[in-house]
Chains A and B, each alone.
Chain A
């Protein structure tokens, strides 16, 4: 028997009930951390969603004012802890921008490799947990099995599996160990076909499509207005990626790499014949497209890593010198955004001719991406809320700082 999806309009016509406030979180499994949503509901309908954040607030910016730039680096690990390499990179680049510091070609290659590996790891968590949010357990195991192998690679490179502090202002803490490139290449070769498994259990899974296609549609204009970035912005059809469009301080790192920016521009992806087709019910800007953009970005990241490995072999062994904790920061302000897996992560540092910055600022991508959630949930069903929240791929460590 084929069950038709119950549309919100049908429920509304059916029956009206008293408005009810439902507290979702802060310990709800589908809130990806300690996020609390207060849902105002009329029966199954969502009238409004009020997010309450701050449960993980650890005064990261205030702490930054009493630590040297190098010392604050481990705190960036704990912002988006699923993409610590990208957080390290953002902070390192902004400090380098303030100091006018260049890194060596080899250090830049290593940065590209680990940042893209971490993007894959982060997108795997996003995809796996999204399946979990929608009631399917298998993809979670598939995704985490592969992520585990990326963490092994990170462990070999820097000793840590979650909070790396590997990319530091001035370069990276150490060159890659012997044999690492071969291990990485072997991983990519082995990982490549497993993406199809995820496509089979999620992307083209009928239940998954019914839960995500046409749900939580975010149009382009609203996305930009709310400052949404990353896959959330691109899922709405905006062809924008800082790796290509960002400031030179960041984008030059990716110069010469061939990769596509993944976005359904006018409803179509570049080279879309290579991937599962979009279901008929999917609308640009819905949960399905946000998920799909991440899945394809994984493929692009793999291409970038392969190119970076070739480039790495051609560089000389100079790794540059990471800055010391005694490094003075000159007077001035520098702000830089980088394309982290979850969106544009911005850091600002204000120097004061002392070791410690006058002010540190972290502009969180998830912070802006979450602020649009009420718009997406309004008028939908209660069951759509986890689908919307999961599709935004939030990490509360980054939102609350």
Chain B
């Protein structure tokens, strides 16, 4: 199935959550509303015509300035990308979710998104990594700890406005 067909399948079931498709991109993607990510993922995994059985990667991308991407009308934001594929049908797709950089635009309050670790177990560690490095809180995650940085690390290093702390427990960092 190509991206357009996957988009139509998804839109049939979740017309409210399925927002856009770009089948001409290098890696075709579908944009899903943050509220609908869990439903969309369940459909993608379970629908007989889709069967996305493997989640390859979850990546968080921080866009601080609107100029960071040409097609973006939405200004500063954090995007979460899900790279999925189906071994049975041999098709692949990228899911894109756009979140505000901060929840309710209060700096320091992390944006929230439903965890899909119940759909694919791969998501467990990948979501921990996105939380750790990009700063997205995954609701319903079974073990929402940092994974690469120490538990008491401050900030989320892959944010574009992240500032490296001067020291960590007396160790010079800068």
| A residues neighboring B (CB under 8 Å) | 53-54, 57, 59, 61-62, 97-98, 222, 224-227, 238, 240, 245, 247, 331-335, 337, 344, 346, 348, 350, 352, 358-359, 361, 363, 367-368, 371-372, 400-401
Q: Does B121 contact A (CB under 8 A)?
A: yes
Contact B57 A346 (CB under 8 A): yes
Q: A225-B120, A335-B57, A371-B124 are in contact. Are A57 and B148 (CB under 8 A)?
A: yes
Q: A227-B120, A245-B90, A335-B94 are in contact. Are A348 and B69 (CB under 8 A)?
A: no
B70: which A residues are within 8 A, CB to CB?
A: 331
Q: Does B53 contact A (CB under 8 A)?
A: yes
The A-B contact count (CB < 8 A) is 89
Q: Does B147 contact A (CB under 8 A)?
A: yes
Contact A332 B25 (CB under 8 A): yes
B167 to chain A, nearest CB (A): 16
Q: A61-B133, A334-B27 are in contact. Are A359 and B61 (CB under 8 A)?
A: yes
Q: Does B87 contact A (CB under 8 A)?
A: yes
CA distance A400 to B69 in the complex (A): 29
| B residues neighboring A (CB under 8 Å) | 25-27, 29, 53-57, 59, 61-63, 68-70, 81, 83, 87, 90, 92, 94, 120-122, 124-125, 133, 146-150, 157-158
Contact B27 A363 (CB under 8 A): no
Given contacts A332-B25, A401-B148, 18 further A-B contacts (CB under 8 A): A54-B149, A57-B149, A59-B157, A98-B26, A225-B122, A227-B120, A245-B87, A245-B90, A331-B70, A334-B27, A344-B56, A348-B57, A352-B68, A363-B57, A371-B122, A371-B124, A371-B125, A372-B121
The 10 closest A-B pairs by CB, nearest first: A227-B122, A363-B57, A54-B148, A57-B148, A361-B59, A371-B125, A225-B121, A226-B121, A334-B26, A359-B61
B55: which A residues are within 8 A, CB to CB?
A: 227
Contact A97 B26 (CB under 8 A): yes
CA distance A358 to B158 in the complex (A): 11
A59: which B residues are within 8 A, CB to CB?
A: 157
CA distance A372 to B121 in the complex (A): 9
CA distance A54 to B133 in the complex (A): 12
Residue of A nearest to B27 (CB): A335
CA distance A352 to B53 in the complex (A): 32
A400: which B residues are within 8 A, CB to CB?
A: 148
